[in-house]
Amino acid sequence: MKNLWNDDTAEQLVADYAKKGVGRDLALRVYTTRLLGGVPQLVLHGGGNTSCKIKATDLVGDEWDVLCVKGSGWDMAVIEPQGLPAVKMGALLKARKLDRLSDENMVALQRANLIDPASPNPSVETLLHAFLPHKFVDHTHSTAILAIVDQEDSKPLVAKVFGAKMGYVPYIMPGFDLAKAAADVFDADPTVEGLILDKHGIFTFGDDARQAYDRMIHYVNVAEDYVAEHAKPKTAKIALPARLASPAAIAPMLRGAVAAPRGEGRFDRMISDFRTSDAIVDFINSAEIADYAGRGVSTPDLSIRIKTGPLAVPAPDADKIGDYKAVIQNHVDAFAKDYRAYFETNDALDDVKRTMLDPMPRLTLVPGLGMFGHGRTLKDARIASDVGEMWIEAVRGAEAVGRFHPLSKADLFPLEYWSLEQAKLASNKPKPLTGQVVLITGGAGAIGAATAKLFADNGAHAVVVDLDAEKAADAARKAGNNSIGVGADITDPDQMRAAFDKAVAVFGGVDILVSNAGAAWEGRIGELDDTLLRKSFELNFFAHQSAAQNAVRIMLEQGTGGALLFNTSKQAVNPGPKFGAYGVPKAATLFLSRQYALDYGAHGIRSNAVNADRIRSGLLTDAMIASRSGARGVSEKEYMSGNLLGQEVTAQDVAQAFLHHALADRTTADVTTVDGGNIAAALR
């Protein structure tokens, strides 16, 4: 582990923060917190915490001794001074005299003594930081330290590795009891430079920021060196199939299997993030991988990210890929069954009212390929993958020096179902399309871009497909929610397939297709050049068929249903003069949508159309508006608002219709008209 302290950088940060009224100690606290937070082998996604003890002035000018400690929700890698809320030390120190303090009262005590009431909640380990006398205290979940403490009899090993310089604290769930126990260990030997917390991590401390940081890096290096010097020979590897299936081939199957059913054909879907490297594959190919996964998480904090541990499945045989979906489903079902038993057994031990979390795995290990992180959002899925990499590193180290023996699942349960975490989860309400992936063709146009933005605002991750890759990327960026842009000529089947493959590679699958791309050509039908009509059919009909085929291919593998949404246009039911080149293939597309409803309804795949008219877009350009209004003998304004409501219809209105169909999970074979009212185009 490299020591990243740099005098010049540290002093520059101190100078920069001084201009903002931030003192030297707090500035250096921010500096070393970022150094620790930027190393995944030490800190991951909200884990770890740091503190410093300084003086601060409240809103009425009174000065207090305070503890500035990492606040809930802050990432140590990018922390700012406000991410270290100041808590009055006096009340915190008095708490040590108490015999007990509930988690809720502990949080209330800490919030009641904040200098700034608007600050985030201080870390759950605030009292531990307060009870230690040092000015600076650092805490991480170093994977090297976990390799030492994740042993059946870790105490003598800790003594052997670190000697008398580090105190040993038996496992206790974070909170008041752990704070008191850690302080007692320190009081028994005030010469120690840090504390090793069994099955948990490491604390180091010092009189200044650099001393605490240097000690952290030093003792992590001691652990790393011990693991490297005492490593046992590698375990045997599993026998892999002669031909492995690709990640893309199994991703939809796996994503479908981990979708939590809500009954009556409804699912809480998840996004999947595939991760691989030589190191990942080498470890996952171990003959013991299923056993390692079943033992649990390397530190209890990870239960919030990957539940009781990973799921290990067999390597996928490309020559037997037709059978692999059932293999995955059986393993996921077994994981879920075990999780329910884990919950029911431990929940019955007391009278606390708890709500069981969904029992689906959040990390799947696939020998020969890599691993898939699962989450309700891409961010959560990537976090699960990040955690997986650190889990592998910790387990590899633990097995190198002994036998991986993490915290028991019975002891893990109180943390996973901690009242504070339950409250946090209860307040995190998903959006209507959270966990779903929508692919939109013609995605950079007016209707496509509006649809991508609206779906992303409602929780979906959008794959914006357009002929212009730069415009697709720009529309995806504006849509937000980690949406992506893909450049493709959708009249080319190979490029269409590649666009869907990209959706699978990034998100694990597709749940909604908005087949929107189109272009219009004018001319009387009997005078059209045959080449032009065929060109229009390629884009306005066959591209829709190609998109739907690809979507259905993935949806069937997922087994969780889906939605096919077609932009068919008013021309499909009410053709306009000299517009046959556009209207005829659009009419075919309308009936295509109904055919898909007939053929795939039994699989939970819904197929609906949106019949829109006169929407300003790349298709209906200013020149086209002038031409069409002239053909009808009306002004451009009259043409655009020539409907029963007398209002121009916008791309956002069409997007709302697509959203309606995405959410209407009991509607199929429908056509929704978005034209402000046109009796001639009304279906009957």
> Average pLDDT in the 405-418 region?
93
- CA–CA distances in Å: residue 396 to residues 153, 202, 231, 279, 559: 18, 19, 9, 10, 35
Q: Are residues 168 and 40 in the same domain?
A: yes
Q: Is the pLDDT of residue 218 over 60?
A: yes
Question: Of the residues 426, 459, 482, which one is the last residue of a structural domain?
Answer: 426
Residue 620 has a pLDDT of 73
Q: Specify if 402 maps to a domain.
A: yes
Question: What CA–CA distance (Å, rounded) separates 646 from 639?
Answer: 10
Q: Specify if 367 maps to a domain.
A: yes
Maximum distance among all alpha carbons in the chain?
Answer: 98
Query: Which pair of structure tokens corresponds to residue 157?
Result: 């090993």
Residue 562 has a pLDDT of 98
**Please, what is the average pLDDT of the chain?**
94
Which stretch of 116-125, 452-461, 495-504 has the lowest confidence by average pLDDT? 116-125
Q: Are residues 161 and 268 in the same domain?
A: no
> Average pLDDT in the 26-48 region?
94
Residue 65 has a pLDDT of 98
Q: Are residues 475 and 416 in the same domain?
A: no
What confidence category does residue 424 fall into, taking pLDDT thresholds of 50, 70 and 90? low
> Average pLDDT in the 294-308 region?
93
Which stretch of 9-13, 177-181, 515-519, 679-683 has the lowest confidence by average pLDDT? 679-683
pTM metric for this prediction: 0.93
Residue 45 has a pLDDT of 81
Question: What CA–CA distance (Å, rounded) separates 173 from 217?
Answer: 25
Q: Are residues 21 and 166 in the same domain?
A: yes
Residue 423 has a pLDDT of 67
Q: Is the pLDDT of residue 420 over 80?
A: no
pLDDT single digits (tens) 327-378? 999 999 999 999 999 999 999 999 988 889 999 999 999 999 999 999 999 9
Range of the domain at 555: 437-618+650-676
Q: Are residues 408 and 464 in the same domain?
A: no
Q: Is the pLDDT of residue 307 over 90?
A: yes
Instruction: Please report the DSSP string for 554-611 in residue order.
Output: HHHHHTS-EEEEEE--GGGTSPPTTBHHHHHHHHHHHHHHHHHHHHHGGGTEEEEEEE
Q: Is the pLDDT of residue 425 over 80?
A: no
Domains identified in the chain, total number: 3
Residue 355 has a pLDDT of 86
Residue 632 has a pLDDT of 80
> Average pLDDT in the 508-532 region?
92
SS3 label, residue 194: strand
Q: With pLDDT > 90 as the criterion, what percentage of the chain qualifies?
A: 83
What confidence category does residue 426 fall into, taking pLDDT thresholds of 50, 70 and 90? low
Q: Are residues 407 and 442 in the same domain?
A: no
Residue 427 has a pLDDT of 66
Q: Are residues 371 and 515 in the same domain?
A: no
SS3 label, residue 76: helix
pLDDT single digits (tens) 155-214? 999 999 999 999 999 999 999 999 999 999 999 999 999 999 999 999 999 999 999 999
What confidence category does residue 560 fall into, taking pLDDT thresholds of 50, 70 and 90? very high
pLDDT single digits (tens) 647-660? 988 999 999 999 99
